[in-house]
């Protein structure tokens, strides 16, 4: 129901230099004319999920009948009929385009009847663009969030702990509000839009065991995936309706998935294990806010111990290695690289975790560049650049390209490096936002190279 203000993978990737300026609105910063224009993505290219309908049905139930807190939901709730959306507050320039692209995807990929309300008209979903400061005052540690039966953030503040804003009290959805930051990078605003709108109309839970979904607290996927669209399509299937119990929904799901995902009928079920709350809490302590360095390292080690004890060899085991690698970078770089290599191996063995490997590649390539190993860095980066573009992650894409430029410089390919670096800056404008944040990322990666002193 909210996107956390401190995002584990984003925090890890950009630990040296923050990418957003605390409480300073990026729109108030002076605009530089020597950076290239901001780039945006074209037609979406989502991958279809490749797992059995049996597993998809289990995912659907766990996503739809439980909150992120672990509290069970008594019935399915959704909008019955067309869904209208309006934007209020002070939205950034990029929000309108990203909202229209997302609603087009929801209509064409998930068959959901959703549209933008005419200016001045009431709507089922109100997206209010406010400052990050206002969001944190309403809900600390949240980058954005969605609540039922509310229209404005001031209304939420006075009803925060009342039955009115309780998801478990709902029996159908009629009125919701989404609160997005208007002083963050275009990508952060879009990422919030995708996750919160998906939860406004569909499942309310997040599951660490899903490698290919925004319904996952690791926040690797930043736009709705093929899996997410399939879940939403099932959520609004004519065979379901608000008020149905878990058992009633489970009874109908085999027919629904057989109809909307025939490719999953003959695939074997994997029956992924559930994620213990102790592991989730350890990861949040390791990579979230409020803990000391020692507490973070202890929590990361605990997450890895739990992963081993559970016998995991999937992306959750990889994530635990990744967390340990991030926390050891400054104190024990060799041990950190060992964890990153282990993370890459487990991600490589997990279907649907290719984007996770791209994040690990930034760490492995950065280390190779710092050692003057341009060839090794280029080999590491090569498979992931198009993947980042396909997943519409401009921050990751620009980081990969900036690393590639440094590797090319190490090989003496200066002209190629200059062209790649210029290309990266257009994506960085979308991914990191303000000019100072783009320049900070450029300096951070440039400083890795032994050629730069």
In this structure, the answer to whether residues 128 and 233 fall within a common structural domain is: yes
In this structure, the answer to whether residues 45 and 139 fall within a common structural domain is: yes
Distance from C-alpha of 425 to C-alpha of 394, rounded to nearest angstrom: 10
For residue 86, what are the β-bridge partners?
126
**In sequence order, what DSSP letters do the residues of 131-190 get, joined into one string?**
-HHHHHHHSTTEEEEEEES-SSHHHHHHHTTSGGG-GGG-SSB--EEEEEESSS-HHHHH
In this structure, the answer to whether residues 164 and 87 fall within a common structural domain is: yes
In degrees and rounded to multiples of 5, residue 15 shows phi and psi of: -65, -30
- Give the pLDDT score at 423: 95
Q: Which tokens is 300 given?
A: 């990361």
> Residue 13 falls within a domain, yes or no?
no
Residue 92 near residue 127, CB atoms below 8 Å: no
Which residues in 12-34 are b (16+ Cβ under 10 Å) and which e? bbbeeeebbbeeebbeeeeeeee
pLDDT band at 19 (very low <50, low <70, confident <90, very high): very low
Residue 445 near residue 406, CB atoms below 8 Å: yes
Residues 6+ apart with CB under 8 A from 89: 128, 129, 130, 182
In this structure, the answer to whether residues 254 and 319 fall within a common structural domain is: no
Span 153-174, pLDDT tens digits: 999 999 998 999 999 999 999 9
Burial class for 182, CB neighbours closer than 10 Å (0-12, 13-18, 19+): buried
Closest CA to 20 of 154, 163, 178, 185: 185
- Give the pLDDT score at 170: 96
| Residue 1 pLDDT > 50 | yes
Span 343-367, pLDDT tens digits: 999 999 999 999 999 999 999 999 9
> Residue 93 falls within a domain, yes or no?
yes
Residue 282 near residue 299, CB atoms below 8 Å: yes
Residue linked to tokens 């319904």: 215
**What mean pLDDT, rounded, does the chain reach?**
91
Q: Which long-range contacts (CB under 8 A, 24 or more apart) does 362-365 make?
A: 362/13, 362/396, 362/399, 362/400, 362/403, 363/325, 363/326, 363/329, 363/336, 363/337, 364/337, 364/340, 365/400, 365/403, 365/407
- Give the pLDDT score at 141: 84
CATH code: domain of residue 240: 3.40.390.10
In this structure, the answer to whether residues 51 and 179 fall within a common structural domain is: yes
Beta strands in 11-140 (DSSP E): 83-89, 114-116, 125-130
Q: What is the mean pLDDT of residues 409-414?
A: 96
CA 428, distance to chain mean position in Å, is: 17
Distance from C-alpha of 264 to C-alpha of 252, rounded to nearest angstrom: 16
> Residue 27 falls within a domain, yes or no?
no
- Out of 243, 264, 285, a domain closes at 264
Residues 6+ apart with CB under 8 A from 355: 220, 221, 387, 388, 391, 393
In this structure, the answer to whether residues 355 and 427 fall within a common structural domain is: yes
- Out of 208, 230, 264, a domain closes at 264
Longest dimension (CA), the chain: 65
> Residue 150 falls within a domain, yes or no?
yes
Residue linked to tokens 């079920």: 269
> Residue 421 falls within a domain, yes or no?
yes
Residues 6+ apart with CB under 8 A from 138: 145, 153, 156, 157, 160, 179
In this structure, the answer to whether residues 193 and 83 fall within a common structural domain is: yes
Q: Which tokens is 51 given?
A: 């797992």
- Give the pLDDT score at 20: 34
- Give the pLDDT score at 3: 60
Domain span at residue 208 reads: 40-264
CATH code: domain of residue 368: 1.25.40.10
Span 247-293, pLDDT tens digits: 999 999 999 999 999 999 999 998 888 899 999 999 999 998 889 99
Residue 128 near residue 153, CB atoms below 8 Å: yes
DSSP state of 127: E
Distance from C-alpha of 23 to C-alpha of 381, rounded to nearest angstrom: 34
> Residue 415 falls within a domain, yes or no?
yes
Calculate the alpha carbon distances from 48 to 75, 104, 253, 352 in Å: 28, 17, 19, 10
**What percent of the chain stands above pLDDT 90?**
84
- Out of 264, 291, 317, a domain closes at 264
In this structure, the answer to whether residues 214 and 321 fall within a common structural domain is: no
Residue 166 near residue 210, CB atoms below 8 Å: no
pLDDT band at 18 (very low <50, low <70, confident <90, very high): very low
Number of domains the chain contains: 2
| Residue 125 pLDDT > 70 | yes
Residue 83 near residue 113, CB atoms below 8 Å: yes
In this structure, the answer to whether residues 223 and 288 fall within a common structural domain is: no
In this structure, the answer to whether residues 259 and 342 fall within a common structural domain is: no
DSSP state of 218: T
Residue 111 near residue 152, CB atoms below 8 Å: no
> Residue 33 falls within a domain, yes or no?
no
> Residue 20 falls within a domain, yes or no?
no
| Residue 302 pLDDT > 70 | yes
Residue linked to tokens 């890895």: 304
- Give the pLDDT score at 452: 80
Residue 110 near residue 229, CB atoms below 8 Å: yes
In this structure, the answer to whether residues 179 and 310 fall within a common structural domain is: no
In this structure, the answer to whether residues 259 and 281 fall within a common structural domain is: no
Residue 367 near residue 334, CB atoms below 8 Å: no
């Amino acid at each position: 129901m909210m996107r956390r203000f401190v995002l584990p993978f984003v925090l890890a990737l950009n630990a040296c230099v923050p990418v957003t300026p605390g409480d300073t609105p990026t729109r108030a910063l002076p605009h530089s004319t020597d950076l290239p224009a901001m780039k945006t993505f074209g037609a979406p290219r989502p991958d279809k999920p490749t797992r059995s309908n049996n597993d998809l049905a289990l995912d659907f139930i766990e996503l739809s009948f439980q909150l992120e807190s672990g509290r069970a939901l008594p019935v399915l709730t959704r909008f019955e009929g067309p869904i209208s959306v309006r934007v209020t507050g002070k939205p950034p320039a990029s929000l309108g385009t990203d909202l229209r692209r997302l609603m087009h995807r929801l209509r064409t990929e998930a068959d959901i009847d959703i549209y933008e309300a005419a200016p001045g008209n009431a709507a089922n979903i109100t997206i209010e663009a406010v400052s990050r400061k206002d969001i944190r005052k309403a809900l600390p540690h949240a980058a954005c969030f969605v609540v039922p039966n509310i229209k404005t953030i001031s209304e939420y503040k006075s009803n925060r702990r009342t039955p009115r804003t309780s998801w478990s009290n709902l029996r159908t959805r009629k009125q919701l509000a989404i609160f997005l930051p208007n002083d963050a990078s275009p990508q952060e605003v879009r990422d919030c839009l995708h996750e919160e709108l998906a939860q406004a109309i569909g499942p309310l839970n997040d599951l660490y065991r899903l490698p290919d979904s925004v319904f996952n607290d690791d926040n690797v996927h930043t736009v709705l995936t093929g899996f997410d669209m399939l879940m939403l399509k099932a959520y609004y299937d004519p065979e379901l309706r608000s008020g149905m119990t878990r058992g009633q929904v489970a009874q109908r799901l085999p027919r629904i998935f057989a109809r909307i995902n025939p490719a999953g009928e003959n695939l074997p079920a994997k029956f992924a294990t559930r994620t213990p709350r102790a592991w989730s809490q350890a990861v949040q302590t390791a990579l979230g806010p409020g803990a000391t360095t020692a507490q973070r390292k202890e929590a990361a080690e605990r997450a890895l111990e739990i992963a081993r004890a559970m016998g995991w060899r999937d992306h959750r085991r990889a994530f635990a290695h990744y967390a340990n690698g991030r926390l050891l970078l400054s104190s024990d770089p060799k041990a950190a690289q060992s964890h990153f290599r282990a993370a890459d191996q487990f991600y490589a063995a997990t279907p649907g975790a290719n984007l996770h490997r791209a994040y690990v590649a930034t760490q492995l390539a950065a280390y190779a560049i710092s050692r003057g190993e341009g060839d090794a860095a280029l080999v590491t980066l090569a498979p992931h650049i198009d993947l980042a573009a396909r997943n519409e992650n401009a921050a990751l894409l620009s980081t990969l390209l900036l690393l590639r430029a440094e590797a090319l410089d190490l090989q003496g390919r200066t002209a190629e490096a200059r062209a790649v670096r210029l290309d990266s800056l257009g994506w960085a404008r979308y991914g990191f936002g303000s000019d100072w944040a783009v320049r900070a990322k450029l300096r951070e990666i440039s400083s890795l190279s032994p050629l730069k002193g």
